[in-house]
Structure 1
Amino acid sequence: MAGGPASTPTWQTRALVTVEAAELLRSLHADHGPLMFHQSGGCCDGSAPMCYPDGEFIVGDRDVLLGRLEVGEGVPAIPVWISGSQFNAWKHTQLIVDVVPGRGGGFSLEAPTGKRFLTRSRVFPADVFEALPKPLTGADVEGRAELPEAYAPVEVAALDGEEVCEVVTAD
């Protein structure tokens, strides 16, 4: 897989996936084919990342491609999109797609599995942020821009020492 060993965190992309989320994505791929994520910050499911069959959600010209997730052999890289307005709010952070027990969003493919996707984040160090390439928009991809490299899953424990936002749960 691209991006180094699964246990090595990387700052080279704006989006990563955890090992646990990659496992669920492989299962969803087996049932639904190629997948995609979109994080809108919209009304129905808040800012939860929504997983769809690839192409089922129409990406807008101003949506931003955060990265591509490599989750296993035989599964095409999974693009992670975010709305342009959400990107402006989150551009200084790397989003990490993770999974936890609970009910997923009504439109997201994991909804019936008893698990739900969420995003964790960590702030890019200033020097890393400055070195990141300009992200692609929906218009860029439509214009056949070269897609970014896909990155392998990471262990959340490997990222915890790097100020990853914790998941808050009610007891």
Structure 2
Amino acid sequence: MPELPLQVTATLAALQLIDKLRARHGPVLFHQSGGCCDGSSPMCFPEREFIIGDHDVRMGEIGGASFYISAPQFEYWKHTQLIIDVVEGRGGMFSLENGEGVRFLVRSRLFADDEYAALAAAGRV
């Protein structure tokens, strides 16, 4: 069976920022809610301080941090690979990168037909 494509991945800049935040705050996780304002960006939280919802979907892991997305947002994005990047700017008010002068950002690419078929066959979409 071929290896499944990653549903979420991260750039080197994002991985470096995750390492920095983990060194400062301990284990972290990400949540993408799909809401307005801060909720439209991936948010990084201390693992012990965020409660995963019953309908949140774990898409994978980036830099050792679990990445969750709300079920309605997953339904919308299930055809794409999320690529977590870092750009200059202010992070979300409650996201750990706030105050660093950078923020996490979602980029994406559509899965090829064979990639999506493999994810579907594995029950991942």
TM-score normalized by structure 2? 0.90
Following superposition, the deviation at residue 119 of structure 1 comes to 0.6
Choose 1 or 2 for highest CA Rg. 1
Q: Is the aligned partner of 1:99 residue 2:92?
A: no
Following superposition, the deviation at residue 15 of structure 1 comes to 0.3
1:41 to 16, 34, 43: 34
Query: What SS class does the counterpart of residue 22 from structure 1 fall into?
Result: helix
User: 1:146-165 counterparts in 2 under 5 A?
Assistant: none
Following superposition, the deviation at residue 43 of structure 1 comes to 2.9
Q: Is the aligned partner of 1:129 residue 2:122?
A: no
Moved over 2 A (4+): 133-136
Query: What SS class does the counterpart of residue 65 from structure 1 fall into?
Result: strand
Percent sequence identity over aligned pairs: 53
The higher-RCO structure (CA 8 Å, 6+ apart) is 1
Instruction: Name 1:111's counterpart in structure 2.
Output: 98
Letter in 2 for 1:135: R
5+ residue gaps, structure 1 = 1-9, 72-76, 137-171
Q: Is the aligned partner of 1:78 residue 2:65?
A: yes
Instruction: Name 1:19's counterpart in structure 2.
Output: 12
Query: What SS class does the counterpart of residue 113 from structure 1 fall into?
Result: coil
Following superposition, the deviation at residue 57 of structure 1 comes to 1.6
- Using the alignment, how far apart are the partners of 1:11 and 1:17 within structure 2? 16
Q: Is the aligned partner of 1:54 residue 2:47?
A: yes
Higher-helix-fraction structure: 2
Give the aligned length.
121
5+ residue gaps, structure 2 = none
- Using the alignment, how far apart are the partners of 2:89 and 2:97 within structure 1? 10
Following superposition, the deviation at residue 60 of structure 1 comes to 1.2
Letter in 2 for 1:115: V
Higher-strand-fraction structure: 2
- Using the alignment, how far apart are the partners of 1:62 and 1:19 within structure 2? 30
CA RMSD of aligned residues (A): 1.7
Letter in 2 for 1:84: A
Query: What SS class does the counterpart of residue 66 from structure 1 fall into?
Result: strand
- Using the alignment, how far apart are the partners of 1:36 and 1:46 within structure 2? 15
